[in-house]
Structure 1
């Protein structure tokens, strides 16, 4: 059994395991028949009670049959296996699961299980910055849109995760906003598109050759630009078989081979899923695809040029109307460092654009969001920040925007959808009191500054050895804020010691079931019903848990085994949600 600090909850005892210590017997819940019997007389009474349980163990109860004599939550014989987790969650909050895009789309057993057991789902990755934002700063919603449609068609509500985090971001794009400056003069002066005639082709925009060929049907025109008199407008009625069938070719410029150049261009489009392809080519070929939005936006491409006289080409391989303006190419190797104010403005703009675009796009479909994720440090805690360099998907908003980065994030989300519930989400609150207190203090600070914070998510990536007193303490302190609370990412490691030759046995599975049940019971006991927003387990089957796939641990932390079979932990939660 898990060490519960000297006390146990209903359903957490395996009555068929001997011997019991006097401490264990004294700690048992008063629902059991021997609680008031003097200690020296308890064993006969216990044996009598056990014979009664054995006598009924083969009978039906509550419409369900005994599941092969298995124990539930390490306690009484499981006599009630009827129902799904979502159908019995009658405590005023939905039951949820975190899901993965490829599995939900391609694995029928996985998808059917999710549809059967959950009423709300959280995307493990598809709504994060790194999944949406491309290297040029443009957005690709295809994966998120498809998964949301699949879930909506299945009657599943989607919880939004996550808008401002320091991981799972397009770090390359965000760091490009903080390094380099203008890079000196524009090497493509014709990129302002101001010179030209009212004709077509090479005479329409000086320095550009606008072409339509193959099977494509399209036309070029000069229109008012982004704070300029002229811009290039391309209307593609029928795309060609090749991306270059509709293209505009710029003048070659002189480059230093091996140097990094920044291509910057303002674009807007009439369609949501259009495409503009930037191509750097003379003899070598490099490309970047952009999916522009309906509003003017600036897209940047840092490209290492490997020839001395390249040309920038604009290809239009998709239907729609595209307006292009303010094209520049600058040499970053000669760029002075940007001023601090420029960096702050650029980073703030990138965060605002991502949050506003996401929340606006899914308004009414996603009714609650993790706006700020994991803002506090571990250890003695305090606000998470970074003073060194970052690589990969890491980027710390607070490093450039200070303590108020979270305030800005909540303000942007509220402006995009005033009706959405907005949460702050954190881990280790049940095991680190300093972090718990720091988070609550930060939430109070943000609210005092006017942030709309509706709730707090406590992730709860825990193990069978997690101290239950810390779980109780976290729920009590969080409930005292008066905000909504959700168990947002629960999983229970069964091998927290990382034993390399570990195999889960009956005792570990029982301890895991105990811990899942304990979290649920503590949530119900310590959080008022009006504040309970949800209870989500972070994953479906053990084999697809992030603890195995990302952390590469040997473990079995979820409710379903590798074959999608129900584990003891499932039945423990099922009974707990039924209030039994």
Structure 2
């Protein structure tokens, strides 16, 4: 039987809109209920969800619900459901960056403050979602902050651009359009001397009756001023009419001619558009006109071009190695490259980047040196690369195009590869990034394969520049300037949010979805989300600019500072790193292991991270083997989390149902009663395992992401049975499974399935 009927089980007190004191349910008279719906009657035996939390064992546990803050503020069914069943709320969108920050950077926290006022009056807490994220950011504002800056440039001198150059000697014979009166003996020819020769033996009453093109195929552009130069003479001194343009726009002007060869320079502004001509009208002139050549041109001021260096500390005289990496035998990599001692630099002066290879390599790329640019380079980008280089032994090398060090794209990069000698050499090459080198999302790294020799060797690099050709009067900000600017922007955002909250919101997703599913450098941990593995057209990757290791310390320090400054008790502040797919069975929970690694990195740099949030947007899998693998991975996830000693939160729990792993979700209307029970059992499994594995002191809480099933037109898991209630706010079996998990036992046995066939 498909579950297509709706039953009106009272799930909440819809009349309790002024407070959260009424935890009652509306009873339902089952006497008149169709038999096929009576199987849901057992759900009437459940109390509200929060009543099943053991507050003695879990005094600080928060049972949460995600909702639209505006719905809660309006005091409708959402308000009553939240107050009756939950302790805490998470705003789905209203506390996110894009909902608050406008294109000019101004911030509107009015919804946030109204939400807090309503929560305070009802005695509900709010979980802050989210301070830092790459999604739902105001790209116009943020990209504008780090846009190229204007620079002072010397104005370029205009240059002449030819639009047509006509040498009649090579034409052979006259080939353009002309007209003359019937019977006229006027002629247009190319003479033996190669001159365009116009002869008219008798006066023609209408001057325009004898007209002819002396140049054709000229591309006229409206608003452009042109110059027509020609070498011309006439048999007697005279004036004729010249027109330049197209048939729809060809202003005429008088041109004076003499018997002496004269180079005329005639300014014209046809106002025409498209292919056109230069034309003479000379019916009133009796005699001969000769033209040696004609040229049409205009002046253009070329765009100012310059080379923009995309690497910092190329001379190795500072400590910054953010643009230079190496993979070496016995060490691995890519790792930040080693800077040699004083005296290792070019010609024995200063420092150099030093890379060591070993004997008998298996591959030419077993030893690599990487030069990483500060931005992505797409196909068609002109570049210039220069450096000084040498080695302890003469050796050849290869170059490759990479997207980040170790992210191989193409086997050939530079037009010529360096051949090392024991003496310092200079290298400078220019080229254009090809489609093969750019790959799908652009390249940013030149990789030098240094194991070509096959013997142990030491390589030295100095005075490195990786430049692109820029135009106009702007230049990009340096990486340091971008970091400084965006650190200010992040600080300003967090300050505004903490001021609006006034210390009421004490727990936060300090950063959301930081970890990708790619390990480009082969270190065994997934990289952070980045423009190199994501979509910068819709996301803003703060870590790309603030630095992978500094990202979270910058955010958490601002959160700590302004939480205390605007009324919060510093001891109460709890900061979580939140992510999805931490229960991934397909890779042995590798994303969670990577997140734990990054937390260790951030904490070593001074970040405050109190907890881990696991979103758990899961699906019950009808394939038993897949479902068992998923359940095992959930257990492993909780065990790994518990071992961190941090607070653990299930932050966005919801559930669909699929036939097999990674299949599309089964629509709500097609889910059977038996399948609903399986989903309920899975809810109970997840929640019970949370309480079994996570120590009481680490249990922050559990938040259900979807109160009701998702509407067909929703932007989130559309048409799927992800709620604990249906769209009419009737309890579902999932409600019972959720409650059972909280209680640690089955509260009410489900009814047997009833067929209405």
User: Taking structure 1 as reference, are residues 103 and 366 closer, same or farther at Cα in structure 2, changes over 3 Å only?
Assistant: same
Q: Which residue of 2 aligns with 1:558?
A: 723
Pairing of 1:232-243 with structure 2 (within 5 A): none
Answer whether contact 2:616 2:650 (CA < 8 A) is retained.
Answer: yes
For 1:506 and 1:346, how far apart are their aligned partners in 2? 56
SS in 2 for 1:480: helix
Q: Which consecutive residues of structure 1, in runs of 5 or more, have no partner in the other structure?
A: 1-63, 186-331
Pairing of 1:14-413 with structure 2 (within 5 A): 78=42, 81-90=45-54, 92=58, 93-106=61-74, 108-182=76-150, 334-380=473-519, 381-387=526-532, 393-403=538-548, 404-413=550-559
User: Taking structure 1 as reference, are residues 82 and 551 closer, same or farther at Cα in structure 2, changes over 3 Å only?
Assistant: closer
Cα drift, residue 391 of structure 1: 5.6
User: Taking structure 1 as reference, are residues 521 and 173 closer, same or farther at Cα in structure 2, changes over 3 Å only?
Assistant: same
For 2:684 and 2:534, how far apart are their aligned partners in 1? 42
For 2:705 and 2:474, how far apart are their aligned partners in 1? 45
Cα drift, residue 65 of structure 1: 11
SS in 2 for 1:164: coil
Q: Which residue of 2 aligns with 1:415?
A: 561
Q: Which residue of 2 aligns with 1:473?
A: 636
The yes-or-no answer on 1:426 pairing with 2:589 is no
For 1:369 and 1:434, how far apart are their aligned partners in 2? 24
Answer whether contact 2:619 2:656 (CA < 8 A) is retained.
Answer: yes
SS in 2 for 1:98: strand
- Tell me whether 471-480 or 448-457 shows the greater mean CA deviation: 448-457
Q: Deviations over 1:387-407 (max 9, x none)?
A: 389566510001111111112
SS in 1 for 2:531: coil
Residue 540 (structure 1) aligned to one of 707, 732, 747: 707
The yes-or-no answer on 1:445 pairing with 2:413 is no
User: Taking structure 1 as reference, are residues 488 and 396 closer, same or farther at Cα in structure 2, changes over 3 Å only?
Assistant: same
For 1:351 and 1:67, how far apart are their aligned partners in 2? 56
Cα drift, residue 552 of structure 1: 5.6
For 1:539 and 1:499, how far apart are their aligned partners in 2? 15
Whose helix proportion is higher, 1 or 2? 1
TM-score, normalised relative to structure 1: 0.58
For 2:109 and 2:483, how far apart are their aligned partners in 1? 26
Q: Deviations over 1:223-253 (max 9, x none)?
A: xxxxxxxxxxxxxxxxxxxxxxxxxxxxxxx
SS in 1 for 2:131: strand
User: Taking structure 1 as reference, are residues 533 and 552 closer, same or farther at Cα in structure 2, changes over 3 Å only?
Assistant: closer
Cα drift, residue 446 of structure 1: 1.5
SS in 1 for 2:590: helix
Q: Which consecutive residues of structure 2, in runs of 5 or more, have no partner in the other structure?
A: 1-26, 154-470, 520-525, 564-569, 622-626, 746-757
For 2:709 and 2:713, how far apart are their aligned partners in 1? 8
Answer whether contact 1:172 1:392 (CA < 8 A) is retained.
Answer: no
For 1:556 and 1:177, how far apart are their aligned partners in 2? 42
Cα drift, residue 564 of structure 1: 0.7
Cα drift, residue 523 of structure 1: 0.2
Q: Which residue of 2 aligns with 1:576?
A: 741
RMSD: 3.0
Answer whether contact 2:583 2:634 (CA < 8 A) is retained.
Answer: yes
Answer whether contact 1:542 1:560 (CA < 8 A) is retained.
Answer: yes
Q: Deviations over 1:400-431 (max 9, x none)?
A: 11111112111111222233111111110001
Q: Which residue of 1 aligns with 2:253?
A: none
Q: Deviations over 1:235-278 (max 9, x none)?
A: xxxxxxxxxxxxxxxxxxxxxxxxxxxxxxxxxxxxxxxxxxxx
Larger Cα-atom Rg: 2
User: Taking structure 1 as reference, are residues 137 and 573 closer, same or farther at Cα in structure 2, changes over 3 Å only?
Assistant: same
For 2:528 and 2:537, how far apart are their aligned partners in 1? 22
Q: Which residue of 2 aligns with 1:509?
A: 676
SS in 2 for 1:456: strand
Q: Which residue of 1 aligns with 2:354?
A: none
For 1:407 and 1:157, how far apart are their aligned partners in 2? 26
For 2:644 and 2:710, how far apart are their aligned partners in 1? 37
Answer whether contact 1:133 1:139 (CA < 8 A) is retained.
Answer: yes
Answer whether contact 1:428 1:460 (CA < 8 A) is retained.
Answer: yes
Answer whether contact 1:182 1:335 (CA < 8 A) is retained.
Answer: yes
Answer whether contact 2:43 2:732 (CA < 8 A) is retained.
Answer: no
Q: Which residue of 1 aligns with 2:663?
A: 497
TM-score, normalised relative to structure 2: 0.45
Q: Deviations over 1:484-542 (max 9, x none)?
A: 10100000112463267661111221121111111101101110011000100002111
For 1:558 and 1:177, how far apart are their aligned partners in 2? 41
Whose strand proportion is higher, 1 or 2? 2
For 1:349 and 1:499, how far apart are their aligned partners in 2? 43
